[in-house]
């Protein structure tokens, strides 16, 4: 007999899942019975927040769903922050949890791991939350989950599937393999024509890619080269096109004078981007372009987010970009602006704001220490904000900074997921001394896996960003000087390596050693490290 729990694991394997992050409990035994013979790798984090963040990191790098198993109640609520992060960034995180048995539902208090309404909690956060309340519901639930995770019939985003503990142990229903229609929106031909007409008449077009365009780099480059448009990358789109492409402004599009290429453009084509203030923080009021904005997104709700659209097109980024290019017709070559020159001039004369320039020595040291194939996982720490704009990656899904939700403690667990999704590629995590302790116990997970992972910690003795904000706002500094600990020794306690960088050259050497080690290495850098202030 196959139980529902075993059938669910088989359904995941059939969809290409090869790794599950999770902490088991008595409510999820049947899932683990299924995992045992499945050939899938199971990774045990030390807290479900770390497990779901690692799964999200896995999904962001692999470009296919990352999966986390939790028990009902506390296991699931521990995974809510990662679900929220994945929702904000539209990433493919699947959380599978148990819930209490059907006969125990609604009994009120006194049932272990119960909530008044568990699914209501995740419905408010995930893109899709479903309860598999009888064996016959399993196939359809998995199919719906994959539609949402892959953005096949609407916006992409995280999914929660729950199964009552008693249902997990029931015999599975015979599997019904029905072909699912591909409901991906076909771009509206009229809107494509209107966009093409605007672009054909433009003299200074520009393209902005967001996380939804992470895999549309080739189509964006083809259009950009045809019309002479600089390409800017949101933080979630870093790596969508190579940084040395002559039209690539990378994530420096909000830095003067590069911002003019976008703010003064007569047409901006924004693809898979919320045009969030988070990407445009250096400009008071965010991105407020003079020209018409053409917006392309899988999610119709994004078409007017932050900046209104002159033309909005719902659809897959690559498909719409190719359709627009096809609709352009012959465009007089002499009308094509010399965008390569404009990009080169702008990048040569960038005026980094103080928040970034102060961290450039550290950013340059990281740049020099990391091979081009790098994957970088960044927490909310001051040098991380600088690196968002000043450090490049060369492939999609290589910059893991949960900018949208901005929870502390993401870098280390995401780096674990990234390392497993891309074996052989160098992965580095960067965190602050405040953020790193939110999830520092995941060093044990990384140690279990023998990951060669440098975890660089900017150790400025507290919540620096908030301390500065209090100072700037004339608020007496309070609550920002939380004493942390001897972080390298803590790492050693987890069986990892630990070191303090004495100079930036030393940091480079420590990172090189860490990338060749058989365990993670926590490396602190602090304001007294030689060379840190230029």
Ligand X SMILES: Cc1ncc(C[n+]2csc(CCOP(=O)(O)OP(=O)(O)O)c2C)c(N)n1
Phi, psi of 530 (to 5 degrees): -60, 130
Closest distance to ligand X from the beta carbon of 357 (Å): 16
Nearer to ligand X, 72 or 382 (CB): 382
154 binds Mg ion (CB under 5 A): no
Closest distance to ligand X from the beta carbon of 259 (Å): 25
434 binds Mg ion (CB under 5 A): yes
Closest distance to ligand X from the beta carbon of 387 (Å): 12
Nearer to ligand X, 16 or 406 (CB): 406
Alpha-carbon gap, residue 392 to 366, rounded angstroms = 11
Alpha-carbon gap, residue 208 to 388, rounded angstroms = 16
Cα–Cα distance list, 206 to 33, 199, 224, 262 (Å):
53, 10, 8, 6
Spacing of C-alpha 33 from chain mean position: 31
Helix (H, G, I), strand (E, B) or coil at 410: coil
Looking at the DSSP assignment, which residues form a beta bridge with residue 454? Answer: 521
- Which of 50, 51, 212, 432 touches Mg ion by CB under 5 A? 432
Nearer to ligand X, 386 or 499 (CB): 386
433 binds Mg ion (CB under 5 A): yes
Closest distance to ligand X from the beta carbon of 143 (Å): 34
Closest distance to Mg ion from the beta carbon of 513 (Å): 24
379 binds Mg ion (CB under 5 A): no
Closest distance to ligand X from the beta carbon of 467 (Å): 7
Phi, psi of 400 (to 5 degrees): -105, 90
Q: Which of Mg ion, ligand X, none is residue 524 near (CB under 5 to 8 Å by kind)?
A: none
Alpha-carbon gap, residue 262 to 389, rounded angstroms = 16
Return the closest-CA partner of residue 446 out of 11, 71, 53.
53
Stretch that binds Mg ion, among 34-42, 206-214, 454-462, 501-509 (CB under 5 A): 454-462
Closest distance to ligand X from the beta carbon of 43 (Å): 23
Stretch that binds Mg ion, among 27-35, 60-68, 104-112, 457-465 (CB under 5 A): 457-465
Q: Which of ligand X, Mg ion, none is residue 510 near (CB under 5 to 8 Å by kind)?
A: none
Spacing of C-alpha 167 from chain mean position: 33
Return the closest-CA partner of residue 258 out of 389, 399, 70.
389
Which residues are at the interface with ligand X (CB under 6 A)? 380-382, 406-408, 432-435, 458, 460, 463-466
Angle at 78 between CA 238 and CA 170, to 5 degrees: 110
Nearer to ligand X, 73 or 404 (CB): 404
Return the closest-CA partner of residue 17 out of 57, 52, 65.
65
The answer, yes or no, to whether the previous bond of 125 is cis (omega within 30 of 0) is no
Closest distance to ligand X from the beta carbon of 435 (Å): 3
Identify residues 460-519 at the interface with Mg ion (CB under 5 A): 460, 464
Q: Which of ligand X, Mg ion, none is residue 465 near (CB under 5 to 8 Å by kind)?
A: ligand X
Alpha-carbon gap, residue 304 to 311, rounded angstroms = 10
Nearer to ligand X, 68 or 456 (CB): 456
Alpha-carbon gap, residue 384 to 411, rounded angstroms = 10
Contact residues for Mg ion, defined by CB under 5 A: 432-434, 460, 464
């Amino acid at each position: 007999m196959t139980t529902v729990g075993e059938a669910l694991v088989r359904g995941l394997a059939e969809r290409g899942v090869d790794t599950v992050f999770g902490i088991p409990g008595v409510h999820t035994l049947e899932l683990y019975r299924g995992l045992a013979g499945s050939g899938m790798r199971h990774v045990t984090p030390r807290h479900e927040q770390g497990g779901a963040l690692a799964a999200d990191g896995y999904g962001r790098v692999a470009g296919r769903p990352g999966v986390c198993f939790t028990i009902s109640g506390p296991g699931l609520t521990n995974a809510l922050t990662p679900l929220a992060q994945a929702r904000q960034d539209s990433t493919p995180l699947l959380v599978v949890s148990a819930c209490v048995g059907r006969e125990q539902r609604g009994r009120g208090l006194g049932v272990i791991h119960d909530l008044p309404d568990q699914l209501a909690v995740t419905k408010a956060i995930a893109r899709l939350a479903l309860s598999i309340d009888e064996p016959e519901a399993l196939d359809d639930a998995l199919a719906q989950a994959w539609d949402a995770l892959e953005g096949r019939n609407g916006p992409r985003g995280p999914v929660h599937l729950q199964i009552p503990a008693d249902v997990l142990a029931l015999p599975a229903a015979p599997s019904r393999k029905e072909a699912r229609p591909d409901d991906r929106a076909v771009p509206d031909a009229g809107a494509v024509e209107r966009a093409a007409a605007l672009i054909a008449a433009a003299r200074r077009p520009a393209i902005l890619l967001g996380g939804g365009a992470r895999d549309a780099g080739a189509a964006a480059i083809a259009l950009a080269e045809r019309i002479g448009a600089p390409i800017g990358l949101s933080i979630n789109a870093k790596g969508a096109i190579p940084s040395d492409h002559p039209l690539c402004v990378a994530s420096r599009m909000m830095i003067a004078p590069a911002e003019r290429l976008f703010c003064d453009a007569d047409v901006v084509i924004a693809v898979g981007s919320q045009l969030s203030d988070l990407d445009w923080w250096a400009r008071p009021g965010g991105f407020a372009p003079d020209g018409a904005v053409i917006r392309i997104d899988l999610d119709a709700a994004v078409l007017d987010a932050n900046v209104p659209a002159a033309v909005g097109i719902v659809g897959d980024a690559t498909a719409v970009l190719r359709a627009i290019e096809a609709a352009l017709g012959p465009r007089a070559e002499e009308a094509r602006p010399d965008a390569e020159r404009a990009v080169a001039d702008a990048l040569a004369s960038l005026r980094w704001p103080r928040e970034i320039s102060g961290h450039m020595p550290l950013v340059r040291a990281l740049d020099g220490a990391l091979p081009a194939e790098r994957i970088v996982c960044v927490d909310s720490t001051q040098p991380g904000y600088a690196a968002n704009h000043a450090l490049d990656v060369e492939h999609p899904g290589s910059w893991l900074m949960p900018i949208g939700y901005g929870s502390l403690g993401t870098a280390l667990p995401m780096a674990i997921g990234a390392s497993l999704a891309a074996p052989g590629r160098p992965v580095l995590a960067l965190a602050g001394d405040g953020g790193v302790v939110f999830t520092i116990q995941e060093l044990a997970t990384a140690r279990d896996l023998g990951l060669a992972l440098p975890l660089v910690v900017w150790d400025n003795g507290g919540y620096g960003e908030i301390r500065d904000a209090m100072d700037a706002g004339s608020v007496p500094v309070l609550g920002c000087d939380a004493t942390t600990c001897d972080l390298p020794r803590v790492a050693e306690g987890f069986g990892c390596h630990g070191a303090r960088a004495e100079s930036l050259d030393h940091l480079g050497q420590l990172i090189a050693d860490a990338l060749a080690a058989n365990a993670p290495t926590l490396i602190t850098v602090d304001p007294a490290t030689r060379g840190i202030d230029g």
